Structure 1
Amino acid sequence: MGLARRDTIHHTYGDYLGWPEDVRYELIDGEAFMMAPAPDLEHQEVAGEIFFQLRLALGEGPCKPFVAPVDVRLPRLDEADDQMDTVVQPDVLVVCDPSRLDRRGVRGAPDLVVEVLSRSTASHDHVRKRQVYERAGVKEYWLVHPTDRMVTIYRLVEGAYGKPDVQELQGETAVGVLPDVVIAWDALVARLAPVE
C-alpha cells in the first residue's frame, strides 16, 4: 500500500511552505505524498527509544539527533530552498555537520536516517525514500521493522548503497557512522506487543 499523492502537479519547497499545516506532506522529486495519519504507539515507542539512546550516546558533541517532524531538504545541486523539490521527514536522524542546520530544519543529507516501518509506509520507505537517501548521500539508512523484529541497514559505499545488512532486534547494533554508538534492543523489544 503506497502513500496517497496530493495531486499530479510538480511541486517545490516554495509551494510546500504555503500549504496548510494541518496536513503533512513529503516531497519526492516534486511529487507530494500525504504523510500517513499519526503513527501507532508501537511506532512511537521504537522511534522515541532510538532517539533517546542516540541523544544519550552523543551528548554535547557535534553530532545532533532529531526526531520527526523535522524537514530535511535535499537539494540536487545548489538550488535555492524555494526551488528544491525533495523534502522528507525521517522518523529519526543524526546530523554531524552543524552548517546543515537552520531554523527550517536540515539542508543536505543527514549522516544517519532511521525509518520505523508501518504497513502504510513500508513500501514508500523501502523504495522511494531509499533511492532519495542514496542519491542525496545519506551515509547510513536504517529501516526498523517492529513487527518482524528486524533492522535493515544500508551503508553508502562509493556513492551507492551496498548489499543491506539485516539483523534481528536483539542485543546491540553498532551505528557505523557514529563511532562507539550502539542501539540496544532487548529492553525495547520486551516492551513491544507480542507478535501475532
Structure 2
Amino acid sequence: MKPLKKNATYDDLREVPEHFVAEIFDGELYASPRPALPHTRTASVLGAVLLNAFDRSRNGPGGWLVLNEPELHFGNDVLVPDIAAWRRTCLPALPPDAFLTLAPDWVCDVPSPSTETIDRGAKLRIYAREGVRHAWLIDPLRQSLEVFERDRRGRGCSARCSRAGRTRAPHRSMPSSSSSGRFGSSATDRQPFGRPCAAVPIMTKSATVIRQRARAETDV
C-alpha cells in the first residue's frame, strides 16, 4: 500500500472519506478500505469474547477496558487497531475525546491483503516504541494467530504455538533483544516484536489463548 500523502497532518487525515480507515505513520498518510466480511467477522467475534470476559466480567476476570477500532495518537502518528484493551488500573474511565494518547496494554490487528504490510511493519514498530506489552495478528484467510509479548522490563519474546494447534504462553526466561523499543527472541531479529509464533486455528483456539494470557498476567 502506498501513502496518500507525505508530511501529512491530522487535518489531512480528517479529509479522508469515512468509508476508509485513515492512519498516519512517520508523517505518511494511509487510507485503508473497509475490510471484507471474513475480517469483520473475526474482529467482531474476538471483540465479543474479550468484552464479556475481560471488560464486563462475564465468565472472566474483568479488569480491562476493551474498544473496537479506537483512534490512537502517539505524537504525530495516528493508529487505528482493530481491537485494543487497557487495564482499568491504567485507564479507569474513557476521556470525552475522540481519540486516546495512552498506549494500550494489548492490541490486535486482523491483516487483509491490502493492510498486511503496514500491520506487520510500521504499526508493530510503533506499538513496540510506545510500550505496548501484547500484540496479536489474526489472519482469517490463513486461519492463523500470531502472538507477541514484551515484559515490564522491556524484554521481548514470542509466543510458542505448536503446529498441532496447542498454544503456550511465552516463557518469561526466554532470551530476548535488549535494544530499546524492540521485541524479539534474539538480538538478530529485525521485526520489532521478534519472530512470530507458529500458525494455529483461530476460531477454536482464541479463547484458550485469552485465558492463558490472563493466568500468565497474574504471575508477573
With structure 1 as the length reference, what TM-score do the two structures score?
0.74
Larger relative contact order (CA 8 Å, sep ≥ 6): 1
- Structure 2 counterpart SS, 1:45: helix
Report the counterpart of residue 87 of structure 1 in structure 2: 78
Q: Is the 8 A contact 2:105 2:132 kept in 1?
A: yes
Matching residue within 106, 111, 117 for 1:112? 106
Equivalence for 2:169: none
Query: Of Structure 1 and Structure 2, which has the larger fraction of its residues in strand?
Result: 1
Could you give the per-residue CA deviations for residues 32-82 of structure 1, whole angstroms, max 9, x where no partner exists?
1112x22111101100011000001111544111112x21112xxxxxxxx
Give the aligned CA root-mean-square deviation in angstroms. Answer: 2.4
Specify whether residues 175 and 33 from structure 1 end up closer, same or farther in structure 2 by C-alpha distance, changes over 3 A only. farther
**Post-superposition offset of 1:148:** 1.1
Residue 105 of structure 1 deviates from its aligned partner by 2.5
Task: Supply the distance in 1 between the matched residues of 2:24 and 2:148 (Cα, whole angstroms).
Answer: 22
The CA deviation at 1:99 is: 6.1
Residue 128 of structure 1 aligns with an amino acid whose one-letter code is: A
For normalisation by structure 2, the TM-score amounts to: 0.67
User: What is the aligned partner in structure 1 of residue 3 from structure 2?
Assistant: 5
Instruction: State the alpha-carbon separation in 1 of the partners of residues 211 and 24 from structure 2.
Output: 27
Residue 114 of structure 2 aligns to a residue whose secondary structure is coil
Structure 2 stretches of 5 or more lacking a match?
Answer: 155-181, 185-194
Compared with structure 1, are the counterparts of its residues 89 and 100 closer, same or farther at alpha carbon in structure 2 (3 Å cutoff)?
farther
Is 1:32 the counterpart of 2:29? The answer is yes
**Alpha carbons 1:140, 1:177 under 8 Å: kept:** no
Equivalent of 1:98, from 86, 91, 98? Answer: 91
Residue 150 of structure 1 is matched in structure 2 by: 144
Q: Secondary structure at the match of 1:124?
A: helix
1:65 equivalenced with 2:56 (yes/no): no
Runs of 4 or more, structure 1, over 6 Å off, are: none
| Structure 1 residues 154-193: aligned runs within 5 Å | 154-157=148-151, 158-159=153-154, 160-162=182-184, 163-169=195-201, 170-171=204-205, 172-174=208-210, 178-179=214-215
Structure 1: unaligned runs, 5 residues or longer: 75-83, 182-196
Alpha-carbon distance, 1:18 to partner? 4.8
User: SS of the residue aligned with 1:153?
Assistant: strand
Give me the identity figure in percent. Answer: 24
